[in-house]
Amino acid sequence: MVFSQAAQGRELKTLEKAQAKELEKARKEWRKREGQTFNCQADAEKALVQFNRKWKYQRAVAQAIPVRQYSRRGRPTAQDQMEMNATVPAQRRKSTQRPTIRWIFQLFEGLDLLLV
């Protein structure tokens, strides 16, 4: 077997081209699937495995975030909100499910950027 610097350079250049082309295709495909909603964690993991099988050089890592859906449209009832167990630290060092808007503003006082 003979080793050639020129052949190795051509091979690396070809490999980099193939990786760049595959990366662009993978990004386009990921944008299509990014906002997709699944019925359960297993379905999301199955879709991720199928996505990763397509690519030779690329691998995707994702985190499934459960989406809370209410039984009907509009503002959730107090009962629905209590089922979520959403609490905020209150001024008396206890948690509360019904904070005042003033207390919420005080919690965010001093923040310049809030990402939701």
CA 67/CA 38 separation, integer angstroms: 9
Please determine, for residue 29, whether its predicted confidence score (pLDDT) is greater than 80.
yes
pLDDT tens profile 44-54: 889 889 999 99
> With a threshold of 0.85, does the pTM exceed it?
no
Residue 12: which pLDDT band, with cuts at 50, 70 and 90?
very high
CA 67/CA 77 separation, integer angstroms: 17
Tell me what pLDDT residue 105 has: 79
Average pLDDT, the chain: 82
CA 54/CA 84 separation, integer angstroms: 38
Kindly state the helix (H) or strand (E) to which residue 112 belongs, with its residue range. Answer: none
Helix (H, G, I), strand (E, B) or coil at 24: helix
Tell me what pLDDT residue 74 has: 77
Tell me what pLDDT residue 61 has: 84
pLDDT tens profile 79-106: 776 777 777 777 777 877 777 788 777 7
**In the chain, domain spans:** 5-53
DSSP string across 50-74: HHHHT-SS-------------SSSS
